Amino acid sequence: MSADDLHARVQTLLEEHDPAGDPREFLGARFDAGLAWVYFPIGSGGLELSRNFQAQVEEELAAAGAPPGGGPHNGIGMGMAAPTIAAFGTEDQRREFLRPLFTGEHFYCQLFSEPGAGSDLAGVSTRAVRDGDDWIVNGQKVWTSSAQKAQRAILVARTDPTVPKHQGLTYFVLDMTDPGVDVRPLRQITGEAEFNEVFLTDVRVPDANRLGAEGGGWKVATTTLNNERVAIGSMAGGTREGGIIGKVTDVWRAQPELRNPAMHDELMRLWVDAEAIRLTALRLRQRMAVGQPGPEGAGMKVAFARLAQAVSGFEIELHPEDGLQYDDWTMRQPEGVDFVGREPGYRYLRAKGNSIEGGTSEILRNTIAERILGLPPEHRVDKDIAFKDLDR
C-alpha cells in the first residue's frame, strides 16, 4: 500500500464517520478500517504496514479534529498494553482486547510492582494457582497509576515457585471490575494520590486471558517495560525547547530581572542536554519504526530522569522565594502527570519520582551496561535458586 492509498483510506473514514461525533463510534470505525495501528496485523486494528506510515495517519486525523486513540490519558493502554498484546496475543485475544482499548471503553493500569518487588521485578510474589480453566490470584501490587478508574490491567504473577524467579512468572490481562480487586489510594510527595495499592484476593482470571506461555511472563513483561521506558524518556519534548526546558527558557527570556549571571552557564548546559535527548529520542523512534524497542529505551529513561530533576531544580532557583510556592496539597487523584501545565513547585516535587518509576535509574544503568555495552553482568547469587528457597 502506498502513501496515496493510505491517504484515500483515511479520507473515506472521515467521509463516512464524523470525527466530531461520538468518539467511541469514530474510533471503532478507525480500528475496523485498520487505521488504529497500521503496523499491527490485519483484523487487529492494522494493515501490516511499516510503522513509518503511522505518522501520516496521525497527522491527517489530527488535522481533521479526530479524537485520540485510546481516549484521554490512556497511556498505559496505548503505550504498553497494546504493543504487548499485539506481540504475544493470539488472534482471539487481539480481537477481544485491542478494539475496546483503542475506543477508550477499556482503560488500563499496570499491576507489576509489589512492596517487596520494585526494582527487582522478577521477585514478585503475587501468586496465581491454576483451577481448571481459571487462575486464582492472590497478592498485593503497589504504585499502580490510575487503578481507580481502570477496567483492565496487565498483570505479572508467580505461577511456579519451584523454579528460579525469572522462569516462574506468567502474564495476564485482568478484569479490574471482578470480585476480589481492592484499590486504595497512596498519597505522594505532591499531596496527590496519583498512585494506588491494589489487593487481589481470590480473583479468578480465565486462562484465555493469559498472554504468552505459562512461565513465559518475564519475556512478555520485558516488551512492556521497553515500551514504558521509551514513553517516559520521550517526555523530554518532541520539539526544540519543548517540555520542561521550554518553561525555563520562556521565563529566562521574559523576566530578565530574575537572572543571575552565575546561572547562565548552567542553563546553557541544561539546554544542550535537553536538545541532545530530543534528537536521541527522534533517532530511537526511527529505529522503533522497523521493530520493537530494545534496551536503548533504558538510556533514554535514565537521561530524562536526570534532566527533569536538574531542570526543575534550576527553575526553583530562577524563581527565588516564589519557586517553592505550591498550593494544591489536596489528596486528589489527577487524570495524569502534567509537567508543563503546572507550577514550578509541582514540577520540582513530581520530578523526584522520574528516577524510580518505570525502573529505577540504578537498575537501568545495569541494563545499559550489560545489554548495550556488553559489560560483564553483576554476580547474582539467586539466579539458579528456586524462588521458594530464596530469603525474602
- Residue 86 belongs to domain spanning: 3-103
Element at 219 (helix H, strand E): helix 217-233
Q: Write down the pLDDT at residue 226.
A: 78
Assigned domain for 202 exists:
yes
CA angle 349, 81, 105 (to 5 degrees): 95
Average the pLDDT over 107-116 and give the result: 94
Please check whether residues 246 and 361 belong to one and the same domain.
yes
| Cell numbers representing residue 263 in the block | 546561572
The domain tally of the chain equals: 3
For residue 336, being part of any structural domain is answered with yes
Instruction: Please state, in angstroms and rounded to a whole number, the distance separating the CA atoms of residues 135 and 213.
Output: 14
**Lookup: cell for 2:** 502506498
Residues 322 and 262 in one domain: yes
Does residue 139 sit in the same domain as residue 245? no
The verdict on 315 and 346 lying in the same domain is yes
Q: Which of 194, 228, 296, 315 is catalytic?
A: 228
174 within some domain? yes
Which tens digits make up the pLDDT trace of 193-205?
A: 888 999 999 999 9
Q: Which amino acid is at 66?
A: A
The answer to whether residue 313 is domain-embedded is yes
Q: How far is CA 75 from CA 4, 229, 349, in A?
A: 30, 12, 22
Q: Is residue 380 part of a domain?
A: no
Higher-confidence residue of 2 and 182: namely 182
Question: Does residue 71 sit in the same domain as residue 124?
Answer: no
| Whether residues 345 and 228 fall in one domain | yes
Same domain, 252 and 310: yes
**CATH code for position 99:** 1.10.540.10
327 and 301 in a common domain? yes
pLDDT of residue 167: 94
**pLDDT at site 273:** 92
Q: What is the CATH number of the domain that holds 362?
A: 1.20.140.10
Q: Are residues 156 and 268 in the same domain?
A: no
Residue whose C-alpha is closest to residue 87's, from 233, 187, 259, 216 = 216
Distance of CA 196 to the CA centre of its chain: 16
Final residue in a domain of this structure, among 181, 214, 247? 214
pLDDT attached to residue 84 = 95
**382, part of any domain:** no
Phi first, then psi: give them for residue 201, nearest 5 degrees: -125, 110
Residues 267 and 311 occupy one common structural domain = yes
8 Å CB contact between 244 and 311:
yes
Distance CA 375, CA 372 (A): 8
**CA dihedral sign of residues 226, 228, 232, 235:** positive
C-alpha cell at 45: 486494528
CATH number of the domain where residue 188 is located? 2.40.110.10
> Which pLDDT tens digit goes with each residue over 234-252?
555 566 777 889 989 998 9
pLDDT of residue 230: 63
**pLDDT tens per residue across span 333-342:** 777 777 777 8
Are 73 and 213 in contact, with CB atoms under 8 Å apart? no
Active site residue 228: yes
Q: Indicate whether 231 and 179 sit together in one domain.
A: no
